[in-house]
Amino acid sequence: MDQLGAKAASGTGTRYSDIIYEKIVAMIADGRFPVNERLPSEPNLALMLGASRPVVREALERLRNDQVVVSRKGSGSYVIQRPDQSVLQQVPVGSLADVQRFFEFRAGLEAEAAALAARNWQPGDKVRIMAALKALERCLGNGELGADEDRELHDAIAAATGNQYHVTVREWFKPHFAIGHSVTRSLSLKRTPLHVRHVQDEHQAIVEAVLSHREAAAHEAMKTHILNARARMFQGIGG
């Protein structure tokens, strides 16, 4: 089941504000709304995009939460980040906001999984986790995408919880997890080797905390990693 199919099955659908949100992101990504420049006013955006002001206002609120724009009292909204256009090419139309919301969901879910894995992992889990981490390291060295290897590491940590619900949730939302890993890994390949190393260091910190049974540290390392991944979605290739 793909992203849009999963959304339809869950009854959530695509909100019109998500479409407008994505249109504004596209205009920022292609340079029509440059970084450090003020966006058109809400009424002008509504007219430009064929939407009501409440819909535009909701889209702008999402953009502020995603740190793409910032509001300055009495002056309006200003662009502070220019996402790479490839982000829009890798998600179904109208789903970009949904991808971001899924990162928010993951931050809580996977942080708890990491803490539980730190408490409960067994020797077989350690073997699987270390194999996944080493596979990611090989991808880094070879300049490969590593999306499947990235997902395998997170799957291995979920399995190490000893709680089947963490595994089941990952299976239910497999397409959502897959697109998040694919987009962020694709963007990483466009950035500097130092950036890619930093991402791998985040994985290393998670694994070290889990395997040393440090529950709080594992929770924090995983939460930081997921929220950083969410932020990296919109940092552009210069981020």
What is the domain partition of the chain in residue ranges?
Answer: 11-82, 87-232
Q: Closest Cα to residue 37, out of 76, 84, 88, 83?
A: 76
The hierarchical CATH code for the domain 11-82 is: 1.10.10.10
User: Would you write out the chain's pLDDT as a tens digit for each of its 239 residues?
Assistant: 344 334 433 334 458 888 999 999 999 999 999 999 999 999 999 999 999 999 999 999 999 988 899 999 888 999 998 988 878 877 765 678 888 889 999 999 999 999 999 999 999 999 999 999 999 999 988 988 899 999 999 999 999 999 999 999 999 999 999 988 888 888 877 777 888 889 999 999 999 999 999 999 999 999 999 999 988 888 764 43
Q: What is the homologous superfamily of the domain 87-232 according to CATH? A: GntR ligand-binding domain-like (1.20.120.530)
**How would DSSP label each residue in 160-189?**
TT--HHHHHHHHHTHHHHHHHHHHHHHHHH
Q: Report the C-alpha dihedral over residues 87, 104, 108, 162, rounded to 10 degrees.
A: -40
